[in-house]
Amino acid sequence: MATTQPTLEGVNTFESQLGGITVRGEAHSLSAWFVLALRLMMGVAFLNAGLDKVLAAGWGAQGYLLNVAATNGNPLQGMFLWMGQTQWFVDFLAIAVPWGELLIGLGLIVGALTRLAAFFGAFMMLMFYFGNWSIEHGVINGDFAYMLVFLAVAAFGAGRILGLDTYLERIEFRGEPLIERYPRLQYIFG
C-alpha cells in the first residue's frame, strides 16, 4: 500500500499546553486509519460485551462487587463493598453496565456521539481497573490501557473519521449548523 509523505502544508499538526508545558506533534497520513481502527476495535469489543450481558438471563454485578475487590488488595475495597451491598445501586448497575456497554459499542462503531461514548467507556474501564486491581506486574494493565485508548479516541475526534458525527454536527437548527449554534456539543460529537 503506497502512502504519501505529507507536505508542509498538508501536515496534520496538533498542539496542547498544560501547566506551562507545550507539546506539539505531527501525525503521519496513516494516523486517521489507526484512529479509526482503535474506535472500531473498542466499539466491537464493547458491543459484544454488552450483547453477551443483555442476552444472558440473570446477569448481575453484585457478586463481582462483593468479591473481587475484597480479594485483591484494592484501594477502593470499601467503595466496591458499599456498591455491592446497596440494592438500588446493584439494580442500577444491572441495567447500566450491559446497556451502557452495548450503546458505547454501537456509538463507536457508527461514529455517533463518539466523545460521549468514549468518555463513558473510559469511566467504565477505570472502574474495571480498580475492580480487577492487580499490581504484581506493575500498575499498568489491560483495563488501564483500554481506558487510554478510549481517551485517545475522544481526543482525536474519531467520530469524524468515516463516522456519523461529521453529519450530526452539520445538522441545521434555526438556520445554522448545530455545532455552531451550540458549541459545547463538541464535547459529545467528534
Separation between Cα atoms, residue 122 and residue 145, nearest integer Å: 10
Closest CA to 114 of 190, 34, 31: 190
Residue 9 has pLDDT above 60, yes or no: no
Residue 113 has pLDDT above 50, yes or no: yes
Per-residue pLDDT, 42: 97
- φ, ψ (nearest 5 deg) of residue 176: -140, 155
Q: What is the pTM of this model?
A: 0.86
The larger pLDDT score, comparing residue 4 to residue 11, is at: 11
Reading the block at residue 81, the C-alpha cell is: 463493598
Report whether 90 contacts 137 (CB < 8 A).
Answer: no
Domain boundaries, the chain: 51-187
Structure confidence by residue, pLDDT tens digits, 133-170: 877 777 888 999 999 999 999 999 999 999 999 999 99
Q: How many CB atoms lie within 10 A of CB 56?
A: 10
Report whether 118 contacts 105 (CB < 8 A).
Answer: no
Residue 134 CB contacts under 8 Å (≥ 6 apart), including other chains? 72, 141
Structure confidence by residue, pLDDT tens digits, 51-97: 999 998 788 889 888 887 767 778 888 899 999 999 999 999 999 99
Axis-axis angle for helices 87-110, 114-131 (nearest 10)? 130
Q: Cα 101 from chain centroid? A: 10
